[in-house]
Amino acid sequence: MAPKTSSSYGLSAFPVTIFAHLVAIAVTTLVLVWLLHFRGGFAFKSDDKAKIFNLHPLLMVLGFVLISGEAIMAYKTAPSTRKSQKLFHLILHLIALVAGIIGIYSVFKFHNELGIPNIGYSPFSPSCILVQNNRHGRGLARGMQCLAR
């Protein structure tokens, strides 16, 4: 039997994208139920400082799971030209990055309002922020380079 020459191997992305969307909806629903029912909600300004912190998991899930997942699937699910798919992919990743930045900011705001040192509690926090920013920065530069062609 000769090896396949097509990169897609004749597989449809439809079942995988349906499954991914169902998982994303389930995860988002669970995080919202957890935050609203068990953690008392979320707010950017509140006397209850835990509500400020609660923005962090919500925005991280929305940004880096839901919206980044959509950006990754954009190449197979968006019926358009390759350049339009790349632009859509780039815009979704930028939205995810903004959600992540606001999520990190909410943690810093929570810590500042309670007088907790921002990064002194875990050596992994600054390294995760640096790795994620490096990844998004390189991706943004590459995306802009591809779109300029």
Report the pLDDT averaged over residues 120-135. Answer: 74
Q: pTM of the predicted model, to two decimals?
A: 0.79
Structural domain that includes position 86: 14-148
CA distance 137 to 115: 31
Q: Is residue 105 part of a domain?
A: yes
* CA dist list (Å): 5 to 9, 10, 13: 8, 10, 18
Which residues 6+ apart lie within 8 Å of 104 measured at CB?
56, 129
Report the pLDDT averaged over residues 88-98. Answer: 90
Which residues 6+ apart lie within 8 Å of 147 measured at CB?
83, 86, 87, 90
Q: Is residue 131 part of a domain?
A: yes
Q: Is residue 123 part of a domain?
A: yes
Q: Is residue 51 part of a domain?
A: yes
> Which CATH number covers residue 138?
1.20.120.1770
Confidence (pLDDT) at 6: 47
Interior angle at CA 92, CA 88 and CA 93, nearest 5 = 115
CA distance 74 to 110: 34
Q: How many CA atoms are closer than 13 Å to the CA of 112, on its beta-carbon side?
A: 7
Q: Is residue 8 part of a domain?
A: no
Confidence (pLDDT) at 148: 78
Q: Domain count for the chain, please give it.
A: 1
28-72 pLDDT tens trace:
999 999 999 999 999 989 899 999 999 999 999 999 889 988 988
Confidence (pLDDT) at 90: 87
CB contact at 8 A, 73 and 13: yes
Q: Is residue 7 part of a domain?
A: no
Q: Is residue 1 part of a domain?
A: no
| pLDDT, mean over the chain | 84
CA distance 63 to 103: 9
